Amino acid sequence: MLPFAQIPSSILMNPDLSPRAIQVLGLLILHSNGERRSWPKQGTLATSLRITKQAIQKVIRELVAAKIVRVDHDYTLPSGLLVTSYVLIYPETRQLQVDKRQLQVVGRQLKAPKADNHRLSMEEYTSKVPETTALAGASVAPEQQQPSAEWLALKQALRGIGR
């Protein structure tokens, strides 16, 4: 199995980061241990991306300025060896904040109609919300089986959260 790195979508979609910075971050994530720390040599990173060590240093400064990576110059490995390590400090909650904002926007766009009467029977409720009819065990007419555009938009927004 080939190794892979999961890069948060909030970082991938960050317009302030260069594509090279995202590549280097991917390599740092790929080399990281369970504590979000990695210590590959800059030469190793440069060789992997076929660029110079000076270009790697510039990109690392970009990641540090964006508060995605912290550099520890005097990190001691369990073997006693002193190395420069890179700590991945991007907040895990940043993605949740972005997703919340996206849901708020989608929710405002949908503006679900309010029920006229708060005391609806199950039949009345399922007739107003066709998508729930199958869950209630009632038969659904073919024209009611097609989800509305609003439902599809909300479903698409929710799929984006799980990624």
Model pLDDT for residues 96-130, shown as the tens digit of each residue: 445 555 656 656 655 555 545 456 555 565 555 54
pTM, whole model, 2 decimals?
0.54
Model pLDDT for residues 137-161, shown as the tens digit of each residue: 444 444 555 666 776 777 777 776 6
Model pLDDT for residues 21-73, shown as the tens digit of each residue: 999 999 999 988 878 889 999 999 999 999 999 999 999 999 999 999 999 98
Provide DSSP, 34-95. Answer: TTSEE---HHHHHHHHT--HHHHHHHHHHHHHTTSEEEEEEEEPTTS-EEEEEEE---THHH
Q: What are phi and psi of 72, to 5 degrees?
A: -110, 110
- What domain range includes position 117? 93-161
What's the mean pLDDT when you consider all of the chain?
A: 75
Q: Are residues 68 and 16 in the same domain?
A: yes
Confirm whether 2 is domain-assigned.
Answer: no
pLDDT value at residue 107: 60
Q: Which of 37, 59, 88 is the last residue of a domain?
A: 88
Residue 91 region by backbone torsions, left for phi larger than 0, else alpha for psi between -120 and 50, else beta:
beta
Q: Are residues 83 and 102 in the same domain?
A: no
Q: Are residues 152 and 119 in the same domain?
A: yes
Confirm whether 133 is domain-assigned.
Answer: yes
Q: pLDDT above 90 covers what percent of the chain?
A: 31
Confirm whether 62 is domain-assigned.
Answer: yes
Confirm whether 139 is domain-assigned.
Answer: yes
- The number of domains in the chain is 2
Q: Which of 64, 88, 112 is the last residue of a domain?
A: 88
d(CA 142, CA 146): 7
Identify which has the larger pLDDT, 90 or 138.
90
Q: Are residues 137 and 116 in the same domain?
A: yes
pLDDT value at residue 154: 72
Confirm whether 47 is domain-assigned.
Answer: yes
